[in-house]
């Protein structure tokens, strides 16, 4: 199991946002929803920090417009060490790889009319290769009782698709990508605890590496995800880290990650 670092960008700044409050407005100022934290440091500072600490497989997510310079600077600071997502499609995927991204992360572009567009997936595979593609299957429960199955959401996590996150879906989509990234949107940015059933589902059902994000509130959640995900689910922590305004010490998480790698966890599937 690995700790995967993140850099979330909105209007060019590094921010941590409550996922369920995002909107799909393109107006600018009021489309971010509820913000937990805004850094005075540029994205490149965080990228260099991750490089120095030997953390790999992290992601840069662009939330809306105005983030291209910041994302590009992060990739330049840590070439080959970060994935990039947010508005990725067939016109820019190759350029992001050329700019230093290890992988491109795609969601909305590969869904049309609420369904997976396999032609678009195949196009992306031809352009950059499946080994460079991460599918973002961030999801929310569907159903008034809050107990329904998880469905992939797109357009800044506001639009439900018809794609349920289950072992069958994970197996089918694994033919087109190297990894999955899954935010538990309802808990994202709230520090209210992880979605344990989703972590279990990912650990049992994903045939390829998968990273979970959403709701981490204490360093013990690293061990919790390791157990629930059977060592097959990596974890991203955002708002809960002290470098993003939270209480969990980033240095302690890095130490946990190093011990895990030394003990042979290493994210091996």
**How wide is the angle at C-alpha 174 spanned by C-alphas 169 and 220, nearest 5°?**
85
pLDDT tens per residue across span 95-117: 999 999 999 999 899 998 899 99
The CATH homologous superfamily for domain 3-262 is Aldolase class I (3.20.20.70)
Task: Give the model confidence (pLDDT) of 212-263 as tens digits.
Answer: 999 999 999 999 999 999 999 999 999 999 999 999 999 999 999 999 999 8
- pLDDT by residue (tens digit) across 142-164? 876 667 899 999 987 889 999 99
H or E segment to which residue 212 belongs: strand 210-213
Virtual torsion, Cα 220, 253, 174, 193, nearest 10 deg:
30
Query: Tens digits of per-residue pLDDT, 45-76?
Result: 999 999 999 999 999 999 889 999 999 999 99
Give backbone dihedrals phi and psi of 140, rounded to 5 degrees, phi first.
Answer: -135, 155
Indicate the domain borders of the chain.
Answer: 3-262
Residue 267 has pLDDT above 90, yes or no: no
Question: What is the residue-wise DSSP string for 65-114?
Answer: SS-HHHHHHHHHHSTTSEEEESS--TTTHHHHHHTT-SEEEESGGGEETT
Backbone Cα Rg of the chain? 17
**Contact assessment for residue 184 and residue 201, using Cβ atoms and an 8 Å cutoff:** no
Give yes or no for residue 194 having a pLDDT over 80.
yes
CB 156 within 8 A of CB 189: no
* 26 pLDDT higher than 60: no
Supply the pLDDT for residue 205.
Answer: 97
């Amino acid at each position: 199991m690995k700790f995967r670092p993140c850099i979330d960008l909105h209007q060019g700044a590094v921010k941590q946002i409550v996922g369920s409050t995002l909107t799909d407005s393109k107006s600018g100022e009021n489309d971010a929803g509820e913000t937990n934290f805004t850094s005075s440091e540029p994205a490149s500072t965080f990228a260099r920090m991750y490089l120095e600490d030997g953390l790999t497989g992290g992601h840069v997510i662009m939330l809306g417009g105005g983030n291209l310079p910041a994302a590009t600077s992060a990739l330049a600071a840590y070439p080959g060490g970060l994935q990039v997502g947010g508005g990725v499609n067939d016109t820019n995927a190759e350029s992001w790889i050329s700019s230093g991204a290890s992988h491109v992360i795609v969601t909305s572009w590969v869904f049309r009319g609420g369904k997976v567009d396999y032609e678009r997936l195949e196009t992306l595979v031809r352009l950059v290769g499946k080994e460079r593609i991460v599918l973002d299957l961030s999801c929310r429960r569907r159903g008034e009782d809050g107990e329904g199955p998880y469905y992939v959401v797109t357009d800044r996590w506001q639009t439900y698709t018809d794609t349920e996150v289950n072992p069958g879906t994970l197996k089918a989509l694994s033919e087109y990508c190297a990894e999955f990234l899954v935010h538990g949107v309802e808990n994202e940015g709230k520090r209210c605890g992880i979605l344990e059933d989703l972590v279990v589902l990912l650990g049992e059902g994903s045939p390829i590496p998968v990273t979970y994000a959403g709701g981490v509130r204490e360093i013990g959640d690293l061990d919790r995800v390791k157990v629930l995900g059977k060592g097959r689910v990596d974890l991203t922590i955002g708002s809960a880290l002290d470098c993003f305004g939270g209480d969990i010490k980033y240095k302690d998480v890095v130490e946990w990650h190093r011990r895990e790698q030394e003990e042979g966890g290493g994210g091996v599937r």
